[in-house]
A and B are shown apart, each in its own frame.
Chain A
Amino acid sequence: MTTELDEREGARSNPGPFPVLDVVSLSKTYPGQVALADAELRLMPGEVHALVGQNGSGKSTLIKLLGGYVKADHGSKVVFGGAPVDLWTLDRDARRHIRIVHQDLGLVPSLSTVENLGLGRGYDTDFAGRIRWRAEVRRAQDLLLAFGLAPDVRRPVAFLSAAERAAVAIVRALQDWDFDQPGLLVLDEPTASLNRGEVDALFREVRRIAELGAAVLFVSHMLDEVLELADRVTVLRDGNVVAAGEPVKGLNERRLVELIVGRSVTELYPGTDHVVGKPVLEAEMVFGISLRSVSLKVHEREVLGVAGLVGSGREEIAGSLFGATPRFVGKVLVDKHKVFCTPRDSIRAGIGYVPADRKAVGLDVQERLHEHIPLPRLGPLQGRIRLNHRAVRTEAAEWAERLDVQPLKLDRKMEKFSGGNQQKAVLARWLRIAPRVLLLDEPTQGVDVGAKASIYRQIRDAAADGMAVLVASSDAEELVHLCDRVLVFRSGTVAIELRGNTLTEERLVAETLGATSHRKNMRVGREPINVKVIRDDADLPAEVDEPAAYVAPVEQQATRPVGRFGRLVRSVTARWQTRK
């Protein structure tokens, strides 16, 4: 204890390089939810620091705090450039030294590349205030050429490819970088849409900036890239820092997955023992915007989970089965009866759908609780010539009561309720029509812990009553504990089904992430990752036969290249096999 403290003090008093950003303590509490609890983060000049964690672990909150978009809790302490600062009230000049490339890039799609690059910086003008377009264009072309890209910089950004857009956003953050003062560059999932060549170019650029004295905070889901690029890693889990600045040298992917997943709380989830009945919802060869030939069945009294990364089809599957987004090919059957691809027909057939984006499509924030709950089925509340208002309100009150919506004020606008209570109200709306199938997309996103437990209980109760439930979620812990079966989606289709004792959190996270390295290996023009492989899992056999318990489809085995991560997956699964 004392030695640790002394070391820290010693490090402080050392005349060596002081950290660019030293987050001593940073917390953020939302109503009913602690998003970030006493986080610490130390970014030294010249280092690339990775920040990893599951969805909802507090990564995006930390980035928002660094960007000054939200205000930190009382008592937070942050040192930037050698002086204590308040990130919320940081002035413009200091802000120039914190550059953030957000995941959604923050480009104006209708403006051209040149115009986007000039938005924050201003333009090069001549005497009459006219923008010197030729100089600007040449400059933009030069900047992008460093990435090995030569897009038409005068076209609107909306017409560029995803990779080109990412490059434009990164270039915009890196342009006129002030190397005299230590700066901070935050990259939030920058490689999500880049191919290997572009990733290499980006990494070269990032390293160049780091070598010139900047600190880089690299946020990514792709663990192989983290291990390749970063010097140190900070792992967040449920708003807590579980590993602060671990050197990457001592880590491998398996250890990282362990850190990310951690041990889970089981009290939150109700038990799951019951008998599954006959299939209720059957989807055959469904093709959607990102879905490729998805076939699945959900049975009576079953909770089926859907896992997958962003873009794997996980976000689309529930909406597509409901008819909220188009299905190009394929059919959906409820109790052997075909359902058309419209929300109205789906509701008639007995499908309920709780969308992920609650504020935008799940509910109307301006409507009141008693208007919200009965909307999908007003028929039974219709009197002879007019709506029976008393019946409407009684029924709304009954369902709000059953789902424990707090406070129970029927005339309250939906926007005034907290996220958890909004979600309960949305669930009440759909449980009221007593559907055969309930499709839930991210049912507990932005929901506090108390409401979460209540929502899980409702889902399990509904399933116990004979409903078929499908839960698409990015929260592995939730899926493992709530679901009987989980389908892992990769590049638009079902890659693997996990059930019984194969359904563990580590396995689920590994399968979900495995998709990225798998998909990237499949890309055209991909070169093998050129890094030194640090293996300390020598106790495991490096190459083992695929265990018999879950043989992957034959064609996948043939095409799947066995990379570092593939070997890891196999070795982990081999261990399960031996344990069993």
Chain B
Amino acid sequence: MSTLSDLIDTTGDDAKELIKSNLLDLIKGAKSETKSVVKETGDKIEKWLELKIKGEIDSDELEALLNARRRTVRQFLNSQEISARARLEKVTIGLIDLVLNKALDVIL
């Protein structure tokens, strides 16, 4: 984090101070998250910003990387939704099957 902070400082633009502090806070918060996707996002954004500031990638490439990350997170959320729905079906149908096949005679 200090590396990114130092790199932003070298740009020497005072108007960037507010953006810098907010950005660093957001990245710090993401990196401290225990959920891997959130932490990974923080780590990657920090790395890509460093590459941009060092001139190793240009603005278009940084934008492409950030949008790619946004899509990966959307895909992750979609897969989570599929898992949740499938789990709901497995539990529900499993319960019905259990009642119909095993417990019906006992209950009724």
The yes or no verdict on A and B being binding partners is no
A: which residues have CB within 8 A of B? none
Q: Measuring CB to CB, which residues of chain B are less than 8 angstroms from any residue of chain A?
A: none
